Amino acid sequence: MKIKKAVITAAGPAQRELPIQSLIDRDGIKKTVLELLIEESIQAGMEEIGVVVFPGDEKNYANAIGKYASQVQFIPQEKPMGYGHSLLTAADFVSDHPFLHLVGDHLYVNRTKKRCARHLVEIAEKEECAVSAVQPTRESFITNFGVIGGGRIPGSLDLYKIDRVIEKPTPTQAEQKLMVPGLRAGHYLCFFGMHVLTPAIFQLLDKEFRKNEGKILGLSDALNELAGKEKYLALEKNELRFDMGARYGLFKAQLALAMSGKDRDRLMGELLEFFTMKELTTKEN
């Protein structure tokens, strides 16, 4: 199994500005969020990248991806019918191949040398199945994410077999259905916004979409069904992930990039100076 295509969903009507926001990366170079996501995909070995966009955003986005324009295809989602539908829009682009999927409003900052998407793709190719990146998350935050239930693969420290997926569960549901042996109390494996999926997902999404015609289509129900149909694994990643749509999300992502890059010491000094001045001013007042 070889994975050569990636799909980035960036068509959310409320988040259309996020992918084109600029950040300074680790090397001190100004890049857009979308550029960073495309780089993550390319470094994972992707050759073609489909970006699902709100109709009309193609031009703005094309301006935001600089040198990668030749590898990227924009796929407009005609109607905002939900996350699942946005992925389904890329079905023709993906065709009958497994693919890497990233969400356009999240940014990943690695703690290790190996990029997150790269690692995910390697595992998917090795195991020849769908793999989603997950992260242990405290129960107080799980109502924001898709959460998996399953068990650790024997002999592996970071790989799990997925039995069930529930979107934004309450801790009550989570305790009953999503407990994963080996995790700390009150922690669950939540999606990281990064998956390698098989084309089977499109059939499931399509079936779901037709069944609930006109309704918003999520992704988790289809993933839950996928877990029942074929081998589907989760890879535990402890990388930093930032939801840029959240309050201060963009700022936090920038801070994390800066703190792990070449300007770290300079920035630390400036921040320290800023805090000291603020403290002194507060005392004087």
**Interaction site with another protein (CB under 8 A):** 138-143, 170-176, 179, 185-186
**Looking at beta carbons only, is 147 or 240 nearer to another protein?**
147
Nearer to another protein, 170 or 238 (CB): 170
Q: How many CB atoms lie within 10 A of CB 95?
A: 11
* Shorter beta-carbon distance to another protein: residue 47 or 175: 175
CA–CA gap between residue 228 and residue 61 (Å, rounded):
37
- Tell me how far, at minimum, the Cβ of 244 lies from another protein, in Å: 21
CB of 111 to another protein, least distance (A): 25
CB of 233 to another protein, least distance (A): 23
The residue (of 74 and 188) whose beta carbon lies closer to another protein is: 188
- Tell me if residue 46 falls in helix, strand or coil: coil
CB of 212 to another protein, least distance (A): 15
Nearest residue (CB) to another protein, 161 versus 231? 161
- CB of 190: closest distance to another protein in angstroms? 12
| Selection from 204, 87, 221 nearest residue 164 by Cα | 221
Cα gap 208→115, rounded to integer Å = 33
| Least Å from the CB of residue 185 to another protein | 7
Q: What is the rounded distance in angstroms from the CA atom of residue 79 to the CA atom of residue 152? A: 39
Min dist. Cβ of residue 139 to another protein (A): 5
Distance CA 134, CA 158 (A): 9
Which residue's CB is nearer to another protein, number 136 or number 171? 171
Q: Is the dihedral of CA 248, 254, 257, 261 positive or negative?
A: negative
53-57: which pairs have CB atoms within 8 A and are 24 or more residues apart? 53/10, 53/11, 53/77, 54/11, 54/12, 54/13, 54/16, 54/80, 57/10, 57/11, 57/16
Q: Please report, as a single letter, which amino acid is at residue 220.
A: S
* CA neighbor of 88 nearest in space, from 11, 155, 168: 11
Report the residue number, 116 or 180, with the smaller CB distance to another protein: 180
How many alpha carbons lie under 13 Å from residue 173 in its C-beta half-sphere?
Answer: 13
What minimum distance in Å lies between the beta carbon of 173 and another protein? 7
Q: Comparing C-alpha atoms, which of 182, 159, 165 is closest to residue 174?
A: 165
Q: Which is nearer to another protein, 154 or 181 (CB)?
A: 181
